[in-house]
Every structure is written in structure tokens, then in C-alpha cells.
Amino acid sequence: MAHVITDLCQGTKDQSCVEVCPVDCIHPASSIDGVAEYESTPQLYIDPNTCIDCGACVPVCPVGAIAMQDDLTPEQQPFIEINAAYFRIPR
């Protein structure tokens, strides 16, 4: 079970979570993926296959956009697939 970034990230895209992630599972990050990729997406995403559920990203998110998959509200459930889908698109 992975952490998930919800729509609360949209419009903010603060990269504090990227800086603390020990496995680089949060993308697109301007320092990793380039500024163009970062700017072209509405939010950041967590790769569910890479996330180790350490939780380091949760307290640093200034808008509270990151939660454990099991803790999502029914309205936030679609973000499980939205996060996973981002990583299935070839880049």
C-alpha cells in the first residue's frame, strides 16, 4: 500500500516532498524530470511501485495533499489510479 497525492496538490506543487523522499518516488520533480515536465502537469504523483511507505513526505506537505491509500476519503479514491497512471505513460 502506497501513499497517494490528492488534488490538494494542484496549483501548489510544492516540492518539499521530493526533497525528503528516500527512494525518489515522487514525480515530476523539476530537479529530476526537468522544468518542462514539472510545469506541464497539474500536480505531483507518487509511484506506488517504488513508494516504501516511510511517510517522510506527509508532514512536509504544506497543503496536506499526501495520505495513505487506506486513509483517503471516498472523493479522493480516484487519486489512487491517477497517481499510478502517471507512471504508466512512457516518458
Nearest to 91 by CA among 52, 43, 36, 53: 36
Q: Give the model's confidence band at 90: pLDDT under 50 very low, under 70 low, under 90 confident, else very high.
A: confident
**Domain tally, the chain:** 1
17 contacts 26 by C-beta, under 8 angstroms: yes
Closest CA to 7 of 57, 53, 54, 73: 73
- Classify residue 91: in a domain, yes or no: no
User: Of all residues in the chain, what percent carry a pLDDT higher than 90?
Assistant: 93
User: Does residue 1 carry a pLDDT above 80?
Assistant: no
The pLDDT value recorded for residue 87 is 96
8: containing domain? 3-86
Q: Domain with 76 in it: what CATH number?
A: 3.30.70.20
pLDDT above 70 as % of the chain = 100
Report the chain's mean pLDDT, rounded to a whole number.
Answer: 96
Confidence tier at 24 by pLDDT (50, 70, 90): very high
